[in-house]
Amino acid sequence: MVDLKVVHLNSYENNGGAGRAASRLVRALQAEGLDASLWVNYSFESAPSPHNFSKGLVPRLFTAIKIILERILTKTRIKSIKTPFSIPFFGKDISTHLALQAADIIHLHWVNHAFLRPKDLAKLQRLNKPIVWTFHDSNAFTGGCHVRYACTHFEQACGNCPIVKQPGPHDLSHHIWKAKKQAYTGLELQVIAPSEWMAQSAKKSALFAKSPIHTIPNTLNTQVFAPSDKVLAREKLGLPANAFLILSGFMPSANDKHKGADLLVDALGIFGQNNEAELVVFGNRAAGDLPDFKFKTTFLGTITEEEKLALCYAAADVFVTPSIEDNLPNTVLESLACGTPVVAFTTGGIPDMVVHQQNGYLAKGASPVELAKGLAWVKNHADKGALSKSARQTVLTTFSETVVAQQHIQFYQSILHSRA
């Protein structure tokens, strides 16, 4: 038993990449004997966690309205491009909540969508407690965007933003950036970056250039996400027994730039169905929202059960993610843990997980030709068993629950020791 109480905060419960990463971390910490809990602003679960700041029908409805309204208002202030952007119109003061007052450490995750505005974060200073913040995307140090692409404005002071409708030196992004700068002053912040790419990005930012940045990856349950019989997995999912199955675990629209749907469409066209290959997709959109892959495709729909998700990875010959900017995507970890090699672009934190031509293939640039080469490399690999073992071992060595939980516990203890 670790004599330490840590309260984790995230906007949603088990929803989105950050929500799943936070939930998995808390379970891993609890398994190591730490008193850890995850408190959320809103839950989509039919049986929501009791650790919820919007408990009860009326508070839940009120929070949902604020989330929806904030997203609508945000759309009126930004250009019609598919780049995630948050304007903190609404928030919640949780500084007087008993759970936070009883905590030794407060651990932030993804706190957008009408949860913690900069001024709400600033109020946490009253608690005089160390605050850890895991950066699941770039929003904490930008003027609103979650995905930066090639923009470097955050390295100085945001402004002249290419996303807002009225860009200029003192535009909306600059005002949001200034509010964050003011809020962070006085907070005892310790930053965790799940990937080396995110760590370097935070170090380049004007807001966190002088802050300590620690790299600790996300984790997952390697008992659930584990290799299983491919033939049986395909039979259970109703997938063809002999085809080369390409799995992809996203479902944005074809216009969602950073997810790279258009690049996957082109790569599949180059790879060709004459390889006796089929695409299998799971995600959170309806089948009618699928991009026009021009490739034989099976849509499995939304999958919330981790056991069924693991079955999907086990059934596939390769997992492909065409994202052109991503931190440490859960889907890549999940696939590798199930022994399924990954083909992806050399971007973000993906190289922290995928070792080129050892457990997958890292395609250069944002080239569909390179992505197609990766698919062909996996298909033609002479020793697929060795490829699968390497994928699994990568996760067991670096990303397993015990490994990642212990890294967090040691980090928490070092923070408290430095304050003693």
Torsion of CA 255, 258, 259, 260, to 10 degrees: 70
Report how far residue 71's alpha carbon sits from residue 205's, in angstroms, rounded to the nearest whole number: 26
Structure tokens at 191: 């930053």
Most distant pair of Cα atoms in the chain: their distance:
66
Output the pTM of the full model: 0.93
Domains by residue range for the chain, with CATH: 2-219+400-419 (3.40.50.2000), 230-398 (3.40.50.2000)
Residue 304: pLDDT band with limits 50, 70, 90: confident
Confidence of residue 302 (pLDDT cuts 50, 70, 90): confident
DSSP 3-state of 117: coil
Rounded-to-10 torsion of CA 116, 412, 202, 198: -100
Query: What does the alpha-carbon distance between residue 47 and residue 39 come to, in Å, rounded to a whole number?
Result: 14
Asked if the model's pLDDT at residue 290 lies above 70, the reply is no
The confidence score (pLDDT) of residue 326 equals 87
pLDDT tens profile 262-280: 899 889 988 986 778 999 9
Per residue in 364-394, pLDDT (tens digit) is: 988 999 999 999 999 999 999 999 999 999 9
Is residue 288 pLDDT above 80, yes or no?
Answer: no
Note the pLDDT tens digit of each residue in 120-147: 999 999 999 999 999 999 999 999 999 8
Per-residue model confidence as pLDDT tens digits over 78-96: 997 778 899 999 999 999 9
SS3 220: strand
Q: What is the pLDDT of residue 2?
A: 73
Q: What does each C-alpha distance from 350 to 116, 145, 261, 355, 408 come to in angstroms?
A: 29, 20, 17, 9, 21
Range of weakest confidence among 69-78, 91-100, 274-283: 274-283
